[in-house]
Structure 1
């Protein structure tokens, strides 16, 4: 449940971009997902999208829905 997840600021999320720290995280609808194990997020980039960001507004242009994130671990929520 999202209420049990730790809270992170946008600045803390930004550090989990695959460059500054080894974790590769993205946020969607206020929930932060760990996409570190995904081959599609190698080096913190997925096509023209960068990790360490809230990608909610960018999903409207994606060829998939936010349901793709169910395969990734929820690690936090945006404070």
Structure 2
């Protein structure tokens, strides 16, 4: 699986490029197809970041990531 730096992940924020990616527990997910991530934001969360520490405050579990393709991992 391909590894990406945090800087490379940050570029996939829905603003700088068309890809919209988020990381969770070291894995990077492509959330581009989700209507909930339009323009790279989902409520108060921004794409291109590691959301591991933010998930406990979410109204859903980590099962939400099972809907998305894993693109790679964070170096």
TM-score (norm 2): 0.99
Deviation string 1:4-43 (CA, Å, 9 cap, x unpaired) is x100000000000000011000000000000000000000
Aligned with residue 36 of structure 2, among 40, 57, 61: 40
Match of 1:22 in 2: 18
Unaligned stretches of 5+ residues in structure 2: none
Structure 1's consecutive aligned runs of 4 or more residues displaced over 4 angstroms after TM superposition are: none
Unaligned stretches of 5+ residues in structure 1: none
TM-score (norm 1): 0.94
RMSD, aligned α-carbons: 0.3
Higher helix fraction: Structure 1 or Structure 2?
A: 1
Match of 1:59 in 2: 55
